[in-house]
């Protein structure tokens, strides 16, 4: 079980009144302390329906994003990562550049 000190900075998880960003918002990303920094393991996130807006046509530009990393001292909180990726929804750029 994690202590409240170990969850400092994790504010979005469990919050049922989260505001979904409608503009690019890197500040929504949160992280927490990895309880097992000496263990080498792979964390993988899949975003099957990433969208941004094509800067030429304004139409949705779709992508599937896979993020894999080996955590060291801190780990990305997954709900904040989902909100971060969602924040590109109205961002005018090719998904490859996002």
Out of 15, 22, 47, 61, pick the active-site residue: 61
Question: CA distances (Å), 59 to each of 63, 65, 94, in order?
Answer: 13, 19, 10
User: Catalytic: 54?
Assistant: yes
Find all residues with CB under 8 Å of 30, minimum gap 6, and list them: 9, 10, 11, 12, 76, 77, 80
Q: Is 93 a catalytic residue?
A: no
Which one is catalytic: 54, 93, 97, 98? 54
How far does Cα 62 stand from its chain's mean position? 17
Active-site residues: which are they? 54, 61
């Amino acid at each position: 079980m994690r202590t409240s000190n170990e969850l400092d900075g994790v504010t979005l998880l469990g919050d049922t009144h989260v505001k979904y960003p409608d503009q690019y918002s890197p500040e929504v990303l949160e992280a927490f302390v990895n309880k097992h920094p000496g263990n080498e393991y792979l964390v993988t996130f899949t975003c099957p329906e990433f969208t941004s807006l094509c800067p030429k046509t304004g139409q949705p530009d779709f992508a599937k994003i896979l993020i894999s990393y080996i955590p060291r001292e801190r780990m990305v909180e997954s709900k904040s990562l989902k909100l971060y990726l969602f924040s590109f929804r109205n961002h005018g750029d090719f998904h490859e550049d996002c």
